[in-house]
Amino acid sequence: MRLFIGIFFSLILALPTMASEEKYSESDLLDRPLMERYILDELKALRQDYQSLEKRMITEITDRELTVADKSLNYANVTVTYFFYIIAGCLCRMAISARV
């Protein structure tokens, strides 16, 4: 019997706290579950868009760095090749003029 009375009084005391919902904001619009879900979905979409943008930017920057490295390596290769052509041309000219 005491158990039933204890349960009864605990239920009576718990009813006001169960009935009152906690307000999350001053506006009634933000307290509706559908609006909260919409806001959470929008935040998730924004986060995913930002991550895809960051991934694309990193890929683009890496591609540009590789392009610059390729161009500089090509420039160095061409410069060294032309330098050896000039040296070979000068040596041939010296060899031809030494025979005469």
Domain parsing of the chain, residue ranges = 28-99
Q: Which pLDDT value is given to residue 82?
A: 96
C-alpha distances in Å from residue 50, one per residue of 39, 53, 67, 80:
16, 5, 25, 45
Lookup: tokens for 28: 């009634």
Question: What sign results for the dihedral spanned by CA atoms 79, 85, 88, 93?
Answer: negative
Q: How many other CB atoms are there within 10 angstroms of residue 36's CB atom?
A: 14
| Separation CA 37–CA 43 (nearest Å) | 10
pTM summary value? 0.48
Q: Which amino acid is at 92?
A: C
Mean per-residue pLDDT pooled into runs of 10, the chain (100 residues): 68 56 62 77 95 96 95 96 95 85
